[in-house]
Amino acid sequence: MRIFTCNSCSKIHLEIGNTQIHFADIQKLKKYFEYLNTIDIAYYAAINRNKGLTRVIIIPLDNCSSVHLGFTVQEFKELKKIICNYLSGKQKQIHSFTGLIEIQLMEKMNFN
């Protein structure tokens, strides 16, 4: 998992395994982080563990998507930590990548 600002397109890229999420600006990332903070980890871990799932935190990519991301409790905490570090200025990697397979969040997404 990593997050960085691309020097080619100036977007913020969040890589989670083979999934890439792109944010047009810091405000979009802040909205996404606020959304992640509303998720009750203990609740979802408990109900999904009973279903025999390895990745017990399963969240929609956004609030209107049929695409879901699955995390272990530790992975979900790591996701929130790297975003928090990025937003606080503790981590500002800059890379340029081309030819990546990506899932892009639409500019008009609303994480309310």
Is position 98 within any domain? yes
Is position 26 within any domain? yes
Is position 8 within any domain? yes
Number of structural domains found in the chain: 1
Give me the helix-helix angle, 26-37 and 73-88, nearest 10°. 140
Is position 78 within any domain? yes
Is position 58 within any domain? yes
Check residues 95 and 17 and name the one with the higher pLDDT: 17
Per-residue pLDDT tens for 45-103?
Answer: 888 888 888 888 888 887 677 888 899 999 999 999 999 999 998 765 444 343 333 34
Residue 5: strand pairing partners: 12, 94
Q: Which domain holds residue 10?
A: 2-104
Residue 35: strand pairing partners: none
d(CA 112, CA 104): 18
Is position 96 within any domain? yes
pLDDT given at position 91: 60
Q: Are 68 and 60 in contact (CB under 8 A)?
A: yes
Q: What's this model's pTM, rounded to 2 decimal places? A: 0.76
The pLDDT of 6-19, averaged and rounded, is 90
